[in-house]
Every structure is written in C-alpha cells, then in structure tokens.
Amino acid sequence: MLNDGEGKVSVSEDVVIDVKGLVRKYQSNSGILHQKKKETVAVDHIDLEVKRGELFGLLGPNGAGKTTTIKVLTTLLLPTQGSVRILGYDIVKDSMEVRKHIGLILGGERGLYYRITARQNLRYFADLYGVPMSIRDKRIDEVLAKVNLTDKADTRVEDFSRGMKQRLHIAKGIIHDPELIFMDEPTMGLDPQAAREARELTKDLIASGKTILLTTHYMFEADELCDRIGVITRGKIVALNTPSGLKSLVRDTSVIEVEGFGITNVDIDALKALAGVRTVSANMSEDKQVLRVQTGDASTLLTGVTHALQDRKIIGMRIKEPTLEDAYLWLVREDA
C-alpha cells in the first residue's frame, strides 16, 4: 500500500471501493423498568471490491443490511469494525475528502427543495459541494441539459412531475462531477417512461467514465444495467457474480407463473407444501395476483398447482425459464 502524503492510499488504481471485514452494529434498549441493552448486527463481515468504470448492483430484501452498507460507504455512518476505502481514502480518517469525490442519488421524494426552482436547487448544492464560482453557472446549465430539464430550469420543483424530480435528483448528484456515484433505488415509484429515462441517464453516466453503485428492488433493472451484482441478506453477502452468473445458479430450475384473482396467503402456503416446490413468490395486488413457483420439473407439478388453486379464478398459467429474480429469491429464501 502506498501513501501519497495527503492521506490517500492506493491499493490498485482500478479499485474504487475497497471493503474489508465491514461490521456495523446497533445498540438499543428494551423494557421500561428494567432496561436491557440489545445489540443488532446489521452488516456482518462484508468484503467487497468495486472497480473503476463498473456499474455494481447491491440487491437485498428490506432489513438485509443494504441501506446500512450504503450509509457507511457514503460516510453517513461509522463502521463498528473493518476498513473501507473510497477512491483510496479511509472513510473514517478522510471523510471530508471522500465526500468531495462521491455523489448520492436517492429515489423517491427526498432531498430537494420544492419552493425554489431547479436552477436554485442546483446552485445551492453546487455551493455546498464547493464547485468554483467561475464555472458554477456553466456547470448547472450542462447538467440541466444532460437530464433534459433546460426548459424547466426556472420552474419551481413543487410543479414538477415525479419523473422530473428524479431527473433533478440525478442532476443534483452529479453537479460537482464526482468520480463515484451511489444510486439508491433511483427508479422507485416512477412510471415506466420516467423509469426508462432514469435508466438511460444511468447508462450515459457509465459511458462517460463514472463508477456507480446501484441499489434496486427491480430485478429486470439490475439485469439490464449491472456488470456485477452482490446479493446481501441477513447482513452477509451471499453471492457475488455477473447477472448471467447468478442466473446459472438456477439453471436446473423451471418456473410456473400463475395469474389469477382471489388467491390468498393460505393458497401460497399450500403451494409451498407441494412436493418438488422450491420457492413461491407472489405479487399480491388488489387487481390481480401473480405467483412464481420454482421447481425442478414444472411439467410434473402443473397438476398439483392446478388442484391447489382449483377454487380460485385462474386467468393464465405458463412454464417459463428462470430469471435473475428467480436466482435472487433462491439466494434470499429463509432456509438458505
């Protein structure tokens, strides 16, 4: 390891995120009269490297440790144990330097000022990130053009659609031209057109030489965008591979996809109990339910699935090849 005299340590010029043995614990108290201290391990000895120019996906269910990991990597939380270097800088000793070189793009409604214009938002964040005054306004115009908001530059954000707000989030995250960008569920809640625009902007950023760490709950999005994916569950990374490499984990699996009405959790439990069923996932919307039943031999299981759902209104049942979502569900299942 070499030190450049300013705190920056270079392990490899290609390694942008270098995580070794990362642990993050939370302390909490329970009880009223006799309080007991409880320790929760949110992140449990994670090792991770992300290389320059890579689009790396971090996938995991709610409560898996994904958000905590992102908060540590972006200096919002201190690690309990282990080491993290971002672009060669230690996140504890050199947190201010780390913040100068990273961007954070959030999904949803967080992080913008609604009563001022897009340009005023970007001017505020440019000043916050220390963009020199001599180039600030030019830089604002550049990023507004990049996210296709030039014609809305002087419109209040409260009048923006959700998709426009997300494009402004992206502009905010790159206003200081960071080398490394963290994108935390950037398409959450967007309509299909707005989500597609956000994905195209993400591809443009990678093409321009940026490195991105992306979190998402949308498996098709991860499959489309990511060079490599780490799957985290119960605080541990349980798989680390390319999308095609992860899909190969379930190459001996076939999937029965069922669409219907009136399907309940009792029906799902009945399907899980069938011999040969590996996992069952469900999208239980009010309008329609969609089930994906993983098995080794779908053709022999069709009769059992049909019988288990005989009292429900089934509008479609088909056998499909496994996807990244099926690999993900296999990795994060409770009995894994």
Chain centre distance of CA 82: 22
- The average pLDDT across 199-220 equals 95
pLDDT in tens, 153-187: 999 999 999 999 999 999 999 999 999 999 999 99
Measured distance CA(175)–CA(143) in Å, rounded = 7
Task: Return the SS3 of 306.
Answer: helix
Under CATH, which number does the domain 250-332 receive? 3.30.70.260
What length does the chain have? 336
The identity of residue 212, as a single letter, is I
pLDDT of residue 170: 95
Query: 29 pLDDT band (50/70/90 cuts)?
Result: confident
Topology of the domain covering 12-241 = Rossmann fold (3.40.50)
Higher pLDDT: 241 or 285? It is 241
> Is 139:131 a contact under the CB 8 Å cutoff?
yes
Q: Do domains 12-241 and 250-332 have the same CATH topology?
A: no
Would you kindly state where each structural domain of the chain is located, as residue ranges? 12-241, 250-332
Give the pair of three-digit tokens for residue 77: 């939380």
User: Could you tell me which of 304, 307, 306 has the C-alpha nearest to residue 274?
Assistant: 304
Chain centre distance of CA 79: 20
Q: Please check the confidence at residue 136 and state whether its pLDDT lies above 90.
A: yes
Query: 108 pLDDT band (50/70/90 cuts)?
Result: confident
